[in-house]
Amino acid sequence: MHVSAIPAFDDNYIWAIQPYDGADAIIVDPGDDQPVREWLRHHDVGISAILITHHHWDHTQGLLPLLQDYPVAVYGPRTGNIEGISNPVGHGERFSLMGDMPFTVFATPGHTLDHICFYTPDHVFVGDTLFSAGCGRMFEGSPEQFYDSLQCLAELPDATSVYCAHEYTEANVKFALAVEPTNDALRQYADQVRALREHRLKTLPSTIGIEKAINPFLRAKSSEHFAELRRWKDQF
């Protein structure tokens, strides 16, 4: 399986999943159709399906324009009221794409109430729930919901690649270092991230194992601890 990042807006990544090189792609969170169209043209492939993690415009605005030219199945949250979703899904549901690629849906309320993540073995597409060294802002959910959502992701195998929807890693690492200044794994990770960003390279995907070692929100001990970190980060 091959996963490509299609940069959009200032710091979004739209992910394109291909079971093999040259295959039509599964597109995750097309906030803008233009960069997706350019990527498809460049790789001379089509779209096989679309996955939507939550209702925010920067994850959905390209959906209806793409459907005009690629009338494919769209999997997205049952509760989000998002126009264009043909296959609404909820927590624990499974489906297969491209014949034999199995996906499992996790409900991860917190950033929004409708937020879901898509897991296929060794890869998880987390939208704005989890960022490297951080997490999404808590717009709609409660600290208890958000904490439980992150703990659900933390139970995935350590080697699972984590595909976040934004390149926020460098700013998140600064906050994480303020929380845990003596965390050696975090300090090493901060050096790697700085070097990548100096060359304007992407810091993603991360892995569940890395995030469990360096991400203060995934390392929070309770929903109260999570709430305290989230409040601190909002002011940081």
Active site residues per annotation: 54, 56, 58-59, 111, 128, 166
Among 26-34, 124-132, 144-152, 188-196, the segment contacting Zn ion (CB under 5 A): 124-132
The CA distances from residue 103 to 48, 160, 164, 166, 205, in Å, are: 14, 14, 17, 22, 18
Q: Which window, 48-56, 68-76, 117-125, 154-162, contacts Zn ion (CB under 5 A)?
A: 48-56
Nearest approach, Cβ of residue 54 and Zn ion (Å): 6
Give the helix/strand (H/E) hosting 209: helix 208-214
Helix H or strand E encompassing 194: helix 184-198
CA atoms 73, 63, 40, 71: torsion sign: positive
Alpha helices per DSSP H over 63-142: 63-69
Tell the smallest beta-carbon distance from residue 128 to Zn ion (Å): 4
* Nearest distance from C-beta of residue 11 to Zn ion, angstroms: 12
For position 166 contacting Zn ion by CB under 5 A, the verdict is no
Write down the least CB distance from residue 56 to Zn ion, Å: 4
Nearer to Zn ion, 32 or 128 (CB): 128
The three-state DSSP-derived secondary structure of 112-125 is: CCCCEEEEECCEEE
For residues 189 and 92, give the distance between their C-alpha atoms in angstroms, rounded to a whole number.
32
Q: Which residues pair with 50 in a beta bridge?
A: 27, 74
Residue 194 · residue 187 · CB < 8 Å = no
Of the candidate residues 24, 29, 33, 128, the single one contacting Zn ion (CB under 5 A)? 128
- Determine if 29 is a binding residue for Zn ion (CB under 5 A): no
Q: Which stretch binds Zn ion (CB under 5 A): 52-60, 71-79, 116-124, 200-208?
A: 52-60
Q: Which of these ranges, 42-50, 67-75, 128-136, 172-180, lies near Zn ion under the rule CB under 5 A? A: 128-136
Report which of 162, 16, 36 is spatially closest to residue 98, judged by C-alpha positions.
Answer: 16
* Shortest reach from residue 111's CB to Zn ion, in Å: 6
**In which residue are the tokens 């890395």 written?**
210
Provide the mask over 55-74, with x wherever binding to Zn ion is found by CB under 5 A and - wherever it is not: -x------------------
Residues that bind Zn ion (CB under 5 A): 56, 128
